[in-house]
């Protein structure tokens, strides 16, 4: 490996010598020569690869917060969520009491095809015991993921079955979904929750639109809360299903990157013509802000929630010779009205940049719209209605919904941070799955008739005590209602699938309820759109 790097550095020296007329090329040549001297002359043995990696990390750390170095080992793991698939056996899992437990087999995946069920405990993989050995999540990935077509043998313990069961699974491509759920919360109203913008988002979004329109959807709520972004292409492809062709959706521009415009264009189906509401919060970033900004600038729909994160820097992924890469900022995103999405930052101060959300909390921005102030120099106007909007970082909603912390207590925080709520939910459903599915054969029946009562809450609190979290009566009083909603959502998720969590939790969510209120009282809000 050392010789490999030295040969690359020598080659770079030749290139940079030819181009040494410019200062940047000469500086690069100087750096390469420095590495050569270290490698050939330093008194002790040195790790050239490590030195170069550290130097790259330090240099990028002096730039913007989003230019980063990605090691060879991290490249594949980083790309999986955006490519929309990986190869393995296809299960959602949890490690409970040092045992690998199947939360759900992924629909259509190889585990579901051979009969793996929610609640199964995997105790052996390829003949090797894995229970009670201190298993961690990366260990599970190494054991169960692998190239398509390869075989893995599992031994499984299943409740109600005396002897362990043997399964042989042939690994396959496993989809990673970017649309968490879609459903009709009320007649005529469709809801789509997008968690990221990946290579598969367009297909998933179109499927959701088609299914909802079969149910006579007239209005659409798109939930982008806590959607950190993803592929630019996915964002403007989704926008093409909301606009007629030819509308500017976003443009990029940088010092060495000439302006590039992205327009809506013909896609797989005609654009949706109904009313559109988009839910955002401080976790909505990048591609989420591109879609929200275009909808707002063209007065196509109403943005509901809180100001988005403010990430508007364009990164190119540039490969390095050893399989690692750098993600380098080359331009900025601008909304159709000319607003820069990126919020201000100090070069080399990523810590302050990422502590902005804490600052918003302390300054009261998350609770009161009047706490947010923009200078007139950042004033822009939408392209149809000529509404005032502001640049300078993130997308401000048309209808502000404050963060609800009324249910929060220190006790609740301890339960969340410890993972106790999720652990308890999995364990409780596992113990009651058979009777629950017998009584509630469909989600709608479960949603209407099942409630988390005080006896279940007390089981949670007892479980928390077993994990060394002491009961706190004042905290219980403050947080009980929220805990009941969360538990019901987690139970629904475990019984019927991941998307059903939102169908339970949305019913009490203030931003979601505000969206329904807007649609019911349209005359009060229609001035915000075309």
The catalytic site residues sit at 286, 311, 315
Pick from 351, 441, 366: nearest CA to 396: 366
Confirm if 433 and 119 have CB atoms less than 8 A apart.
yes
Angle between helices 2-18 and 48-61 (to 10 degrees): 50
- Cα four-point dihedral sign 484, 485, 488, 494: negative
The CA distance from 25 to 355, in Å, is 36
Give phi and psi for 194, each to the nearest 5: -110, 125
List of residues 6+ apart from 332 with CB closer than 8 A: 252, 253, 254, 312, 313, 314, 340, 341, 342
End-to-end CA distance of the chain: 62
Max intra-chain CA distance, the chain: 79
Tokens of 30: 């100087």
C-beta atoms surrounding 476 within 10 Å: 17
Q: Are strands 189-194 and 219-223 parallel, antiparallel or unpaired?
A: parallel
* Strand bridging mode 128-129 / 151-157: unpaired
For 233, residues 6+ apart whose C-beta sits below 8 A from its C-beta are none
460 three-class SS: helix
Q: Regarding beta strands 85-88 and 68-70, do their DSSP bridges make them parallel or antiparallel, or are they unpaired? A: unpaired
Q: Are strands 172-175 and 165-170 parallel, antiparallel or unpaired?
A: unpaired
- How many other β-carbons are positioned within 10 Å of the β-carbon of residue 124? 16
Q: CA-to-CA distance for 524 and 518, rounded, in angstroms? A: 8
CA atoms within 13 A on the CB side of 137: 4
d(C-alpha 326, C-alpha 315), whole Å: 9
The SS3 assignment for 340 reads strand
């Amino acid at each position: 490996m050392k010789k490999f790097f030295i040969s690359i550095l020598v080659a770079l020296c030749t290139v940079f010598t030819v181009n040494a007329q410019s200062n940047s090329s000469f500086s690069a040549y100087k750096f390469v020569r420095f590495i050569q001297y270290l490698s050939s002359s330093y008194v002790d043995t040195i790790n050239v690869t490590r030195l170069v990696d550290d130097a790259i990390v330090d240099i990028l750390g002096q730039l913007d917060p989003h230019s980063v170095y990605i090691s060879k080992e991290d490249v594949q793991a980083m790309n999986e969520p955006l490519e929309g698939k990986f190869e393995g056996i296809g299960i959602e899992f949890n490690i409970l009491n040092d045992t690998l437990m199947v939360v759900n087999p992924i629909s259509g995946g190889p585990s579901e095809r051979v009969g793996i069920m929610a609640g199964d405990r995997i105790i052996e993989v390829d003949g090797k015991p894995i229970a009670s050995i201190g298993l961690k999540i990366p260990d599970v990935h190494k054991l169960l993921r692998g190239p398509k077509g390869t075989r893995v043998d599992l031994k499984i313990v299943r409740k109600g079955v005396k002897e362990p069961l043997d399964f042989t699974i042939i690994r396959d491509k496993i989809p990673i979904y970017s649309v968490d759920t879609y459903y009709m919360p009320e007649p005529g109203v469709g809801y789509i929750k997008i968690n990221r913008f990946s290579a598969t988002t367009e297909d998933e979004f179109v499927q959701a639109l088609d299914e909802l329109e079969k149910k006579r959807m007239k209005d659409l709520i798109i939930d982008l809360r806590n959607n950190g972004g993803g592929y630019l292409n996915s964002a403007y492809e989704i926008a093409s299903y909301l606009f007629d062709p030819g509308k500017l959706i976003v443009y990029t521009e940088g010092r060495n990157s000439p302006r590039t415009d992205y327009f809506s264009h013909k896609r797989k189906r005609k654009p949706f013509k109904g009313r559109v509401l988009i839910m955002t919060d401080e976790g909505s970033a990048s591609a989420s802000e591109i879609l929200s900004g275009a909808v707002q600038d063209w007065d196509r729909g109403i943005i509901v929630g809180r100001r988005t994160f403010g990430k508007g820097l364009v990164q190119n992924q540039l490969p390095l010779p050893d399989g690692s890469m750098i993600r380098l900022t080359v331009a900025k995103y601008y909304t159709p009205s000319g607003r820069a999405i990126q919020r201000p930052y100090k070069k080399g101060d990523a810590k302050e940049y990422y502590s902005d959300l804490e600052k918003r909390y302390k300054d009261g921005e998350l609770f009161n719209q009047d706490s947010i102030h923009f200078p007139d120099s950042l004033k822009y106007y939408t392209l149809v209605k000529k509404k005032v909007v502001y640049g300078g970082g993130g997308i401000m909603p048309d209808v502000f919904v404050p963060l609800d912390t009324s249910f929060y207590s220190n006790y609740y925080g301890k339960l969340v941070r410890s993972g106790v709520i999720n652990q308890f939910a999995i364990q409780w459903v596992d113990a009651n799955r058979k009777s629950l599915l017998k009584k509630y054969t469909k989600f709608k029946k479960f949603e209407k008739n099942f409630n988390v009562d005080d006896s279940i809450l007390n089981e949670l609190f007892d479980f928390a005590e077993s994990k060394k979290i002491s009961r706190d009566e004042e905290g219980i009083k403050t947080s009980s209602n929220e805990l009941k909603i969360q538990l019901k959502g987690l139970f629904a998720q475990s019984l019927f699938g991941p998307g059903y969590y939102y169908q339970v939790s949305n019913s009490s969510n203030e931003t979601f309820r505000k969206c329904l209120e807007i649609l019911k009282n349209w005359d009060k809000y229609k001035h915000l759109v075309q």
